[in-house]
Amino acid sequence: MLAFTGSVFLPHLVNFLGATDTVRPFSTEYARWILISAPIVASTTVLSQILRSEGSTIYSMAGMVSGCLINVALDPILIYGAGLGVAGAAIATGISRLFSVTILLMPFIRRKCVINLKPSFFTPSKEIYSEIARMGIPTMLRAGMMSMSVILINNIAAGFSDAAMASVAVANKSLRMVASAIMGFGQGFQPVAGYCYGAKMYGRVLKAFRYIVSIGAIAGLTLGAALGIFAAQVIRVFSSDPDVMELGLVLIRSQSVTMIPHMLVMICTGFFQALGKPVKAGVMGLSRQLLVLIPSVLIMTHFFGLTGLTYSQATADVISFMVAFAMVVPTLRELLALKKKSDTL
């Protein structure tokens, strides 16, 4: 339904997302094929999450990684070899996702999973939908607000120049590569924390949290430093425009410095979801995007122009971390009290 609606209103959608006159034709061509493949992309995400939730992380990883490798291999073939240009990149994404769906379905077809995919097992009820909504809405809000913040930043950047918009896009893609690595650890942490919390093994929850925070901090420091040092080389992969290079360096390096706070906010959000605390997870999901990032972008751009825009995301990371710290400390104290109580029984 969303793919169909997006296709019908595609020109308006592209304008809403912040496309300038220069990039509008390319954006429209790319978006058209991406919308066609949207049901496949959604299926990939659902199957991957089902496998991960029951502990089949190897199957989930195999499906997602194999699709990424196919995408990387097909991009140059379809873009340059077949002469499809921007459409080739979108088609490559669709084909790679179809490959991922095929891989992810194999464990279910071969009955290697706890969960079986059968129409007869589809028994919708108020209780099931309520539970799904209770834990899914925080993620939906976080993803939705992330999209809204990207739209806002793109529109503001487009008001300065095409180079500013391109710099924002390059910086976000570069930083997403680093953030995705930590996100993988965070997603692996969630079922462990959830299982242990449900089994009242509060000591293991605390131990797992300390472990993932340590991993996140070390990885954030290491990967953030590497990205900051090699920022120029990363930008050259996407563009050789000197204006894009100048602004992109500031964007990437400012956010590389705040990579540790950014990672810890992601971990805390997953932590609250794993413990079945949807309100806290929802607040965390909204804090950086709606409550912090969007105001930071608007206020800093208003007073400092393009300079304010370049530093607004790093500022949002620091403020969001303070919010996360204030929320996670009482939860950790609660877990510690529960652990002491269970140890005395």
Residue 244 belongs to domain spanning: 126-340
Q: How far is CA 34 from CA 3, 61, 65, 213, 310, in A?
A: 9, 22, 19, 35, 29
Going residue by residue through the chain (345 aa), what tens digit of pLDDT does each one get? 677 776 777 777 777 766 667 777 777 777 788 888 888 888 888 888 788 777 677 777 777 778 878 887 888 888 888 888 878 888 888 888 888 888 888 888 887 777 777 777 777 777 777 777 766 776 677 777 777 777 788 888 878 887 888 888 888 877 777 777 666 667 778 878 888 888 888 889 999 999 889 988 888 888 889 888 988 888 887 777 888 888 888 888 888 888 888 888 888 888 888 888 877 877 877 777 777 888 888 899 988 888 888 888 888 888 989 988 999 999 999 999 988 888 776
Q: Compute the residue count for the chain.
A: 345
Nearest-angstrom CA–CA distance, 224 and 252: 9
For 178, residues 6+ apart whose C-beta sits below 8 A from its C-beta are: 223, 224, 227, 259
Nearest-angstrom CA–CA distance, 112 and 102: 15
Q: Let me know if residue 37 belongs to a domain.
A: no
Q: Cα–chain-centroid distance for residue 24?
A: 25
Q: Let me know if residue 210 belongs to a domain.
A: yes
Q: Let me know if residue 330 belongs to a domain.
A: yes
Q: Let me know if residue 211 belongs to a domain.
A: yes
Q: Let me know if residue 103 belongs to a domain.
A: no
- For the chain, how many structural domains are there in total? 1
* The model's pTM: 0.71
